[in-house]
Amino acid sequence: MSNNATIAELFDLAIAAEQACEALYHGLADRFAHHPAVADFWTAYADEEAGHARWLERLSPSSARWPASKTWKMPINWPARPRTPRPT
């Protein structure tokens, strides 16, 4: 993806990230199947990620009412932006 991404491309990226996390958490649940409480923990996280993906799919330009071709200029260092420490 270039530094110019359409809204649709950004939604696709976010949905793919949620789905990848869901798959990771299901894998961890399988790996810890011999510890039911731990497996349940990871399964719950996987379910959360699946919910996030469904939510993003409902909001995506293919189902929303804004132009999917509108571009958004991503910062050059995206997504690895340094965090600015907050004053305490």
**pLDDT tens string 5-39:** 778 888 899 999 999 999 999 999 999 999 999 99
Position 13 scores a pLDDT of: 92
Q: What percent of the chain has pLDDT over 70?
A: 65
The domains of the chain are located at 4-66
> How far apart are alpha carbons 8 and 32 in whole angstroms?
36
Q: What's the whole-model pTM score?
A: 0.67
Query: How far apart, in Å, are the Cα atoms of 14 and each of 7, 18, 41, 53, 86?
Result: 11, 6, 23, 8, 27
Residues 6+ apart with CB under 8 A from 28: 42
How is residue 81 annotated by DSSP?
P
Residue 71's SS3 state is strand
